[in-house]
Amino acid sequence: MTADRHSDPLLDPLFTSDAAADAFSPTARLQGMLDFEAALARAEAAVGVIPAHAVPAIEAACKAHLYELDALGAEAALAGNTAIPMVKHLTRAVKAADEESSRYVHWGATSQDAMDSGLMLQLRRFLDGLDADLAALADGLAELADRHRATLMVARTWLQHALPTTFGLKAAGWLDALGRDRQRIAAARTRLALQFGGAAGTLAALGEAGPAVAEALATELDLPLPALPWHASRDRITELASSLGILAGTLGTLGRDISLMMQMEVAEAFEPAGPGRGGSSTMPHKRNPVSCAVLLSTAIRAPALVGGLLAAQVQEHERGLGGWHAEWQALPDLCRLVAGAARHARETIAGLTVDAERMRANLDLTRGLILAEAVTMALGDRMGRMAAHSRVADASRRAAEAARPLRDVLAEDAEVVRALGIDGLDRLFDPLRYTGAASHFIDRVLALHRHQRRQQN
């Protein structure tokens, strides 16, 4: 990881991914704008707005490594945005090679065109890396769901034992939410379009050639051509930001569940182990949920960034003041955070240790109380639901007070035995018989996952 990738070399490697760090590095920001300028020259030459001989000199100067980032930043602090000094330095570089060509740098464009279109290129690169991690995560969750479709565990509601379920169904729940997240992000991506409107969104400086240049420029950059410039219409940005914020919540839920399962009193699943991972500076025995901490911290931080971007959506007239500026750091920060969480989630699921025996043992912690509903439903057919509920609730209370198995207490109730029989009572206390439609739900989620994979390949 290079210094250019990370503004904080101590913490960024924990909280982001290499792909996201590359996509939103200072060099990448500059290169995105320069790619716009090079494409603009090619498009205008193709339409006949500028002479074709001007293109090579402009293209040759559109390389980020030719410029000093610190100098550009210092000038941006005075100019109000990064494009103004970029255009000045670019023009100077072209002029040094070909004075005639330098006349056509940034022809008919405005600063926001370069910055927004450059951002679109950065976002495209970022989303490629993010989706690769999300696709791998989805495949890992699908494999877990299928492999553990019959792995019994406790379903917990309000953090308490509720009913038997399977770990496969829990993994399918994570996968199902992730699938919707990926669909939302993919839809938002289709609306990330070229920004090209000139000073006030009319392309007046290009006269009648404006629409033709815009079409050629969109082709050059491989960006969708919008119906009109969108300088002050920021819904494209907030749609993507909101989708990323929802994804952060999904990943946070995964992190919360796994971290709770990692507690030593539960010990049902664990993040991957490895040298230097999850240790303590003072307690050698610790195996801390490092990745879960990142997922949870991202879920905590992302809403504020999304909220800021939503607030920034309200902009003035044809080009806004302040709202646009508020996006410049908030959106890359959100992207980097979510990408880091996705990376951690992928690595965690790929190396997750599942203790099926401990999951099964935890089902027995309440000595059968977890199957009280199963008995109530069976008894309800014979004596009515309310009467059955009252009888099983009383038996559950006595079983808990005496620390006895609920099955044994119920077996001492003659009316229960007459209604269900001893064999029937034994069957009701087999948790594998009371997982309902879990396997059916898993199959439906896996079918959706396979369908999504086919659509994206």
Name 166's bridge partners.
Answer: 152
**Local structure of residue 272 (DSSP, 8 states):** P
Catalytic status, residue 280 = yes
End-to-end Cα spacing for the chain: 30
Pairing of strands 269-270, 160-166: unpaired
> Other CB atoms closer than 10 Å to residue 326's CB: what's the count?
17
Provide the sign of the torsion angle of the four alpha carbons 147, 373, 176, 449, taken in this order. positive
CA 112 to CA 195: how far, in whole Å? 8
Q: How many Cα atoms occupy the beta-carbon half-sphere of 119 within 13 Å?
A: 26
Angle between the 26-47 and 83-97 helix axes, to the nearest 10 degrees? 60
Instruction: Name the active-site residue from 92, 147, 277, 280.
Output: 280
161 CB-near residues (< 8 Å, 6+ apart): 154, 155, 365, 366, 369, 370
| Encoded tokens for 58 | 């402009």
E strand segments, 290-399: 353-354
- Known catalytic residue: 319? yes
Determine which one of 124, 125, 301, 319 is catalytic: 319
Nearest Cα residue to 378 out of 434, 340, 447, 457: 434
Q: Which secondary structure element, helix H or strand E, spans residue 160, and what is its range?
A: strand 160-166
**CA distance to 58, 266, 280, per residue, from 352 (Å):** 51, 15, 20
For 74-98, give the DSSP string: HHHHHHSSSHHHHHHHHHHHHHHH-
Taking CA atoms, 266 is separated from 157, 258, 365, 382, in Å, by 15, 11, 11, 37
Q: Which residues are catalytic?
A: 280, 319
